[in-house]
Amino acid sequence: MKFFADTAETEEIRELADVGLLDGVTTNPSLVAKSGRDFKEVIKEICGIVEGPVSAEVTATDTNGMISEGKHLAEISSNVTIKVPLTWDGLKACRALTQGGTMVNVTLCFNANQALLAAKAGATFVSPFIGRLDDIGLDGMELIEEMREIYDNYELKTEILAASIRSANHVKYAAMAGADVATVPPAVLKSLVKHPLTDKGLDAFLSDWKKTGQTIM
Ligand code: E4P
């Protein structure tokens, strides 16, 4: 499974990239607003940190507007992936942009039929929002399972990019359900390494080692 960082904070991205953990980054207008930075400047900086796909979302809502904004954003770097919403206009923009050779991430996907349409429109990625489905009492993971089955049935190449991930369990279950990518907030990504028995075991090993009086170097 590939890991993308779901953030527009470049320091956090740098930290994760340094560990070799990052296959890409996703941003959205809310995350850019939270960063307080200029949109195009921040996308350019992120593209200089990670080689993989970096999602930058259009804000136009009509097809032509989305295509123009998408082409403009794609000029920033060859790894920019244009994010368009899962609307009729968004699907038309997706088709046009992918045919022009630009990667597209169709975002705000909440059911399997939407996911099927996005794949048929040639999306590079489609983003099912797990956490937001859980928030309204539905099962986000069920959507990932349905998408996996449908995409496999028809050998659709669109990658399932599990989004709106809120916990370590979301990452685990998305991986088990066959998501190709998980885009994860940095704090959740870092929490994946934690287990109390790892810390306890390490303390015990180090304390026993100290008793030997030896050093390795
Ligand atoms: C995905 O690309 C979105 O940026 C993101 O995962 C949304 O997550 P949220 O529902 O926690 O805002």
Alpha-carbon separation of residue 92 from 63, 121, 144, 175 (angstroms):
6, 7, 24, 30
For residues 123 and 155, the answer to whether their CB atoms sit within 8 Å is no
For 94-127, how does the pLDDT look when each residue is reduced to its tens digit (9 = 90+)? Answer: 999 999 999 999 999 999 999 999 999 999 999 9
What span, in angstroms and rounded, lies between the C-alpha atoms of 127 and 108? 6
Mutate to test the pocket of ligand 1, among 12, 107, 164, 181 (most ligand atoms within 8 A of CB): 164
From 183, 184, 188, the mutation candidate for ligand 1 (largest count of ligand atoms within 8 A of CB) is: 183
Average of per-residue pLDDT values in the chain = 98
125 pocket-lining for ligand 1 (C-beta < 6 Å): no
What's the pLDDT band for 144 if we cut at 50, 70, 90? very high
Q: 29 CB less than 6 Å from ligand 1?
A: no
Quote the pLDDT of residue 175: 98
Structure confidence at residue 198 (pLDDT): 98
Pick the CATH number of 2-212 from 3.20.10.10, 3.30.930.10, 3.20.20.140, 3.20.20.70: 3.20.20.70
- pLDDT at position 174 is 98
Whole-angstrom Cα distance, residue 83 to residue 79? 13
pLDDT tens digit string along 5-34?
999 999 999 999 999 989 999 999 999 999
- Cβ(128)–Cβ(110) below 8 Å: yes
Query: Would you state the pLDDT for residue 191?
Result: 96
> pLDDT digit string (tens) for 62-81?
999 999 999 999 999 999 99
198 SS3 class: helix
Q: What is the reported pLDDT for 3?
A: 98
CB 128 within 8 A of CB 162: yes
26 ligand 1 Cβ < 6 A: yes
Catalytic residue among 2, 83, 92, 157: 83
Residue pLDDT, tens place only, 187-203? 999 999 999 999 999 99
Q: Output the pLDDT for position 195.
A: 97
